[in-house]
Amino acid sequence: MIKPAILIVDDDRKTVDLIRLYLEKDGYHVLMAYDGRQALELARRSRPGLIILDLMLPRVDGLDVCRILRTESKVPIVMLTAKTTEDDKLLGLDLGADDYITKPFSPRELVARVRAVLRRSATQDEEGPTVLQFGAMEVDLVRHQARVNGSTVHLTPKEFTLLKIMARQPGRVFSRLELLERAFGFDYQGFERTIDVHMMNLRKKIEPDPRGPRYIHTVYGIGYKFEAEEDV
């Protein structure tokens, strides 16, 4: 099987070369960029299967690169950075990154993360309905949009990912840990309360009455489930 091209974006050429060696050894074709503007140009022109993106970049900062790319494509993004606080991680993940690894890092671990993100991406892109309809709400899996009564609801990338995960299996109960792993990365070391915050924000945006939710229901002691409107 032909492996996808991977774009590495970092202004430290030694870091880029190190990652490139390990990825090429694993069979990937590698593209390289050393600033944010070059990264955007390469991503648009070459359409890589995944991007490894440093946050601190010249010309266009890594968070802005991530934000711009997320308006244009669903390409998986693994953020690579020296910033280690939980707020930094959540900001990057909320902008649409699929995983987050901090410097200094193990190149072998990074390659394993790349494999895991690509597997998750392939699973999420399996064939099925492209628009899920639940009464007044639509979840458009192609456009990455939710609409209520025909009006687009502005969700962050992670809010949409959580909604999509649950809406694809209405009635199924998801634990907080499972939602955290599936939406933020299998080894994301965040707190499970992160999910509660995202669910609260989702309810504010999609529910007619967030205090009496129609779609996103808390299953006490476990997590959450999504109910189709007609089943509620």
The secondary structure of 106-162 as a DSSP string is -HHHHHHHHHHHHHHHHHHT-SS-SEEEETTEEEETTTTEEEETTEEE---HHHHHH
Give me the mean pLDDT over the 170-185 stretch. Answer: 82
> pLDDT value at position 232?
41
Please say if the pLDDT value at position 203 is more than 90. yes
Q: What is the CA radius of gyration of the chain?
A: 18
180 near 188, Cβ under 8 Å? yes
Would you call 183 helix, strand, or coil by DSSP? helix
DSSP string, 59-98: SS-HHHHHHHHHHH----EEEEES--SHHHHHHHHHTT-S
pLDDT at 11: 94
Distance CA 221, CA 198 (A): 17
Lowest mean pLDDT, pick from 33-47, 52-66, 114-128, 193-207: 114-128
pLDDT of 166 reads 92
| pLDDT tier, 231 (very low <50, low <70, confident <90, very high otherwise) | very low
What is the rounded average pLDDT for all residues in the chain? Answer: 85
Cβ atoms of 111 and 41 within 8 Å: the answer is no
Paired tokens of 35: 């600033």
What is residue 183's predicted lDDT score, i.e. its pLDDT?
79
CA distance 21 to 154: 40
Asked whether the predicted pLDDT for residue 145 surpasses 50, the reply is yes
Check: pTM over 0.85? Answer yes or no: no
> Domains (ranges, CATH) in the chain?
5-124 (3.40.50.2300), 131-231 (1.10.10.10)
pLDDT in tens, 1-56: 568 899 999 999 999 999 999 999 999 999 999 999 999 999 988 889 999 999 88
pLDDT-above-90 percentage for the chain: 38
Considering only residues 217 and 127, tell me which one the structure prediction assigns the higher pLDDT: 217
Helix (H, G, I), strand (E, B) or coil at 51: strand
Confidence of residue 86 (pLDDT cuts 50, 70, 90): low
pLDDT band, residue 199 (cuts 50/70/90): very high
Helices vs. strands in the chain: H and E counts, helices first? 8, 12
The Cα 149–Cα 207 span in angstroms is 11
